[in-house]
């Protein structure tokens, strides 16, 4: 180790060391930075306007459409993509499948950041942001409300993920005793987190059960909680495939290649899980459609749009996943992952935005400022993720034990 490295190591855990680590690394004029920085700055300006002049100044929300793009995409869709954390931790720490151990820490980090940023985005959507504590304390909504349950599921699950990832942070700070202690809590936090995930993934769907008159019958069902839960599995696995593919290229210089399982086998294993879970989701959609006798609802544009979603973005990627796994075609698996992600976005937006108040003459469409703020949130999350993985021991396989 160089003298500079020894000095940096001796300063671990100190404020001076942390401030030193805050300094940027690498090239600043990268394509991602050039694109993201202006959007982040513009998004922050829009947020200032939003908090000074209110939601009406920057959004197209109304009394008919109180939940718009920020809820439909940032929260309802974003939480589905974060499901990979509870899936991988269950497979690795509960089922003891060592094959996926090398991606456990980065998956937990992705899930934790997703919940922090997407749950934090709820503050932007509230007319009075300080009222965000009401669902947590049971004020106005009551202790029997779905919002009360979802709020506590979110809060506790973020704490569970923080416990799961904290050994990595403790190692970075040089807190060896803290790392050993927090590592002993990992299995308990994982089991607790998996339970919470199953509850809040379905709980988000339960929120829409109270909007039966407002959601198109093709998308409304008393089984929405079950559909939200089952669709979160292929959504999470597809996001892992997508993110790990990018990470394997962007962070190839800091990735530990001592994993006992080749990256190709990990992708194929994830694709197999995505194929099975996506077929189960498609099976539930078909059963609900047939049992609900919705044949009379497919004669107009809404029926066409429904079949585009189900066949084009559920059944098609399911077949692609199966063929990709059988032929070990990574390109086909990755393409299926992208199509699945698009399908999840379409489905969640269909329920929360597109088909919401489908029979009213005035339709909601997000303003350009709503879209910019959403992009800002995504870009800031990526910046934080990049900062963490370039400083902490996230990709090391052996230490993940």
Q: How far apart are CA 197 and CA 193, in angstroms?
A: 6
CATH number of 32-251+260-393: 1.20.1630.10
Top mean-pLDDT range of 19-33, 116-130, 308-322: 308-322
Q: Is the pLDDT of residue 260 over 60?
A: no
Tens digit of each residue's pLDDT (9 = 90 or more) over 217-236: 999 999 999 999 999 999 99
* Least confident residue range of 118-132, 156-170, 176-190: 118-132
Q: How far apart are CA 296 and CA 319, in angstroms?
A: 28
* Least confident residue range of 11-20, 40-49, 203-212, 263-272: 11-20
Structure tokens at 260: 């006992």
Find, among 186, 245, 181, the residue nearest to 400 by Cα: 186
- Per the rule left: phi > 0, alpha: psi between -120 and 50, beta: everything else, 154 is alpha
Mean pLDDT estimate for the chain: 88
First to last CA, the chain: 24
pTM (two decimals): 0.90
DSSP 7-70: HHHHTTTSHHHHHHHTS--S-S--HHHHHHHHHHHHHHHHHHHHHHH-GGGT----SS-SS-HI
Q: Find the mean pLDDT for residues 143-167.
A: 88
No. of helices (H) and no. of strands (E), the chain: 18, 0
Q: Is the pLDDT of residue 4 over 50?
A: no
Tens digit of each residue's pLDDT (9 = 90 or more) over 88-141: 999 999 999 888 988 999 999 999 999 998 877 888 887 777 778 887 887 776
How does residue 251 score in pLDDT terms, banded at 50, 70 and 90? Answer: confident
Instruction: Give the number of other CB atoms < 10 A from CB of residue 323.
Output: 15
């Amino acid at each position: 180790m160089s003298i500079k490295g020894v000095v940096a190591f001796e300063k671990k855990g100190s404020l001076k060391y942390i401030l030193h680590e805050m300094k940027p690394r690498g090239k600043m004029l990268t394509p991602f930075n050039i694109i993201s920085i202006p959007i982040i700055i513009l998004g922050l300006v829009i947020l200032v306007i939003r908090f000074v002049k209110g939601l009406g100044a920057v959004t197209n929300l109304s009394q008919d459409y109180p939940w718009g793009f920020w809820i439909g995409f940032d929260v309802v869709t974003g939480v589905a993509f974060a499901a990979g954390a509870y899936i991988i931790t269950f497979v690795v720490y509960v089922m003891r499948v060592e094959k996926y151990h090398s991606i456990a820490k980065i998956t937990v980090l992705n899930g934790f950041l997703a919940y922090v940023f997407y749950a934090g985005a709820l503050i932007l959507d509230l007319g009075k942001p300080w009222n965000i504590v009401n669902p947590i304390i049971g004020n106005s909504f009551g202790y029997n409300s779905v919002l009360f349950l979802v709020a506590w599921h979110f809060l506790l699950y973020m704490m569970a993920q923080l416990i799961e990832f904290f050994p990595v942070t403790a190692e970075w700070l040089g807190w060896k005793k803290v790392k050993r202690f927090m590592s002993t809590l990992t299995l308990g936090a994982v089991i607790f987190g998996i339970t919470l995930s199953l509850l809040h993934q379905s709980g988000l769907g339960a929120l829409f059960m109270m909007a039966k008159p407002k959601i198109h019958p093709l998308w409304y069902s008393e089984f929405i909680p079950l559909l939200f839960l089952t669709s979160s599995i292929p959504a999470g696995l597809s996001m892992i495939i997508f993110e790990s593919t990018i990470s394997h290229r962007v962070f190839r210089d800091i990735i530990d290649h001592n994993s006992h399982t080749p990256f190709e086998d990990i992708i194929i294993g994830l694709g197999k899980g995505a194929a099975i879970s996506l077929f189960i989701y498609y099976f539930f959609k078909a059963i609900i459609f047939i049992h609900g006798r919705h044949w009379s609802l497919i004669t107009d544009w809404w029926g066409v749009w429904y079949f585009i979603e189900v066949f084009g973005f559920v059944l098609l990627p399911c077949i692609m996943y199966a063929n990709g796994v059988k032929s070990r075609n990574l390109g086909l698996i990755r393409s299926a992952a992208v199509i699945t992600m698009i399908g999840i976005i379409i489905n969640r937006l269909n329920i929360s935005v597109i088909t919401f108040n489908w029979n009213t003459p005035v339709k909601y469409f997000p303003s350009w400022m709503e879209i910019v703020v959403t992009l800002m949130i995504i870009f800031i999350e990526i910046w934080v993720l990049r900062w963490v993985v370039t400083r902490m021991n996230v990709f090391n396989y052996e230490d993940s034990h």
